[in-house]
């Protein structure tokens, strides 16, 4: 039985936010599959991950690599159509796929799910399946399964080639919660000395300051503000000392709200509205679209 609070949350996540709104390209979603497996295949046929391109045998120019900076789904769809004008359901050859990263797979899938009336949200955290004993900075999608009455994690980035390369043992259409660690979970575990913060990050960036940034990104994503992975926003930190000395109670609260069920949905929304005025979400995210 879905509670009134759950119903409010599901209604919120059925609607586009300023990032996933397809705008002038909304009709491009009309002929897409209406089930998650089919939509994942569509996303995989439209995108190529900037860090995986060489493994696929694709050599990217600086101009093509810059496509990872496209913030909004509408801009991504415009570029996708410029590269290849065919319907979205037709998989592109590698050389005409949009260059993106994990955040782009997550947000594009969310946009398609929301267009079909399926509650969806992007989640920022850490994948346990990229490197042994490390948790890699990563984004996935989360959608509400009406049949199972639960939120399901989906990693649309993991196509057959990546699954084989990484030797994953789980279904990317239902990622186990111990394989994708939501940012708030990582933050609280490290705060309680249950995990090593140096195991969380990407490249040479890791530690509590990095985890803290992902807590903020995940919280904003739960409010349908899907930042770029490198956006530097007020509550984030740049050093370990700063991560554990400035506004720590705020980050703790954001982490707990990110882990809570939909029974705290109103608290999550109220915190976003209040803290946005204090710190200011980047205007390029909110303008010209409005938050739904």
Cα–Cα distance list, 176 to 152, 187, 203 (Å): 9, 19, 24
The full DSSP string for 131-176 is STT-EEEEEEEEEEETTTTEEEEE-TT--HHHHHHHT--S-TTS--
Q: Are 153 and 126 in contact (CB under 8 A)?
A: no
d(CA 60, CA 99): 9
d(CA 202, CA 137): 6
In tens digits, the chain (292 residues) has pLDDT values of 566 668 899 999 999 999 999 999 999 999 999 999 999 999 999 999 999 999 999 999 999 999 999 999 999 999 999 999 999 999 999 999 999 999 999 999 999 999 999 999 999 999 999 999 999 999 999 999 999 999 999 999 999 999 999 999 999 999 999 999 999 999 999 999 999 999 999 999 999 999 999 999 999 999 999 999 998 877 899 899 999 998 999 999 999 999 998 889 999 999 998 876 556 666 666 554 433 3
> For residue 235, what pLDDT is reported?
87
d(CA 36, CA 42): 10
Let me know if 225 is exposed, middle or buried by CB neighbors in 10 A (0-12, 13-18, 19+): buried
Report the first-to-last Cα separation within the chain, whole angstroms. Answer: 26
Q: What are phi and psi of 134, to 5 degrees?
A: -135, 155
Give the length of the chain.
292
Return the structure tokens found at 140: 């996935």
Instruction: Output the CA torsion 273→276→277→278 (10° steps).
Output: 120
Half-sphere exposure in the Cβ direction for 70 (13 Å, CA)? 27
> For residue 275, what pLDDT is reported?
77
> For residue 63, what pLDDT is reported?
96
Largest pairwise CA distance in the chain: 52
| Domain boundaries, given as residue ranges, for the chain | 4-286
pTM of the model: 0.94
- Would you call 180 helix, strand, or coil by DSSP? strand
């Amino acid at each position: 039985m879905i509670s009134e609070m759950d119903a409010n949350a599901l209604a919120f996540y059925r609607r586009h936010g300023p990032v996933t709104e397809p705008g002038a390209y909304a009709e491009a979603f009309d002929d897409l599959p209406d089930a998650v497996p089919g939509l994942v295949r569509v996303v995989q046929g439209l995108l190529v991950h900037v860090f995986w391109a060489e493994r696929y045998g694709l050599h990217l120019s600086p101009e093509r690599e810059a496509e990872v900076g496209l913030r909004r789904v509408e801009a991504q769809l415009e570029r996708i159509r410029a590269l290849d004008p065919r319907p979205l359901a037709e998989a592109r050859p590698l050389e005409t796929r949009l260059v993106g990263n994990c955040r782009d797979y997550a947000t594009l899938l969310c946009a398609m799910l929301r267009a079909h009336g399926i509650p969806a949200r992007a989640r920022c955290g850490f994948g346990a399946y990229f490197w042994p004993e490390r948790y890699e900075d990563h984004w996935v999608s989360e959608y509400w399964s009406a049949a199972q009455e639960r939120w399901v994690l989906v990693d649309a980035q993991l196509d057959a080639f990546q699954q084989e390369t990484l030797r994953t043992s789980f279904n990317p259409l239902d990622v186990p919660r111990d394989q994708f660690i939501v940012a708030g979970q990582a933050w609280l575990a490290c705060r309680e000395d249950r995990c090593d913060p140096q195991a969380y990050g990407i490249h040479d960036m890791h530690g509590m300051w990095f985890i803290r940034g992902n807590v903020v990104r995940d919280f904003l994503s739960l409010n349908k503000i899907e930042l770029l992975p490198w956006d530097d926003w007020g509550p984030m930190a740049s050093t370990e000392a700063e991560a554990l000395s400035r506004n720590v109670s705020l980050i703790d609260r954001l982490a707990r709200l990110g882990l809570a069920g939909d029974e705290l949905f109103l608290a999550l929304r109220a915190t976003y509205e209040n803290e946005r005025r204090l710190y200011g979400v980047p205007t390029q995210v909110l303008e010209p679209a409005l938050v739904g």
